[in-house]
Structure 1
Amino acid sequence: MADVPELLDANLHRVFNNRDADARRRVIDDIYTDDVTFTEPEGTVTGRAALDERAAALLGRTPATFVFVEDGPRYVGTSTGALPWRFGPPDAPVARGIDVITVLDGRISELLTVLASED
């Protein structure tokens, strides 16, 4: 079973930063519950396959030079965690946000992505 810091890392770097579909899916099967709920500005989906589709769609519509980079400290509780990030070319991000996870039995059961406001 993974702990909260490991799951934060895997979610950002090994799933949403991973353009290799097969490798990404193996990690998804490893770190999320079967019925994981993923909520982001485009809506909410449930299940590993749906989360994988969202990650693939995001990576598929952005240039290969776009990457997720941690953008601040990790916030870690016993069953929750949060990780701020930025996305885009390493020197010129086009988006910033934070991922908040809920962990159940060593796997992510809920993932909430909130984008930073431009205001």
Structure 2
Amino acid sequence: MADLKIELARRNLLEVFGERDPEKRAKVIRETYAEDVTFADPDEVVVGWDSLDRKAQGLLDKAPGFVFAPVGEVRVVQDLTMLAWQFGPEDASPVVSGVDICIVADGRIKSLYTVLDA
């Protein structure tokens, strides 16, 4: 089960929030998250697949040419995963970094929290 949780955390970062192709992203969202997923970051809380998709698209639209990259390994404790990441131009220093914390239930991400580094 830990392998599935690690895969979900990585897919969240790279195949959802890092995916610029809307069709690919929508497919992965439906495979990775519970239908009523809750996402919270310092700006807002959104609920559901479509809202999560709009959130990811909005972040990518504001940062053309930026990419997400994991920092370190996914850490797992019971139903919780943590994955540190950085975001910035592909061949330059990151502009922002943070940690995604996921709560997994029934093989899908039920809740997702993004904590930004100071």
TM-score clears 0.5 = yes
The offset of 1:3, in angstroms, is 1.4
Q: Secondary structure at the match of 2:72?
A: coil
Does the aligned pair in 2 maintain the 1:4–1:78 contact within 8 Å?
Answer: no
One-letter amino acid matched to 1:68: F
The answer to which structure has the higher strand fraction is: 2
TM-score (norm 2): 0.93
For structure 2, the 5+ residue unaligned runs are none
Corresponding residue of 2:105: 104
Farther-moved stretch of structure 1 (10-19 vs 74-83): 74-83
Runs of 4+ residues over 3 Å off in structure 1: none
Does the aligned pair in 2 maintain the 1:85–1:97 contact within 8 Å?
Answer: yes
Corresponding residue of 2:82: 82
Q: Percent identity of the aligned residues?
A: 42
One-letter amino acid matched to 1:13: L
For structure 1, the 5+ residue unaligned runs are none
TM-score (norm 1): 0.93
One-letter amino acid matched to 1:66: F
Q: Secondary structure at the match of 1:18?
A: coil
Q: Tell me the matched-pair count.
A: 116
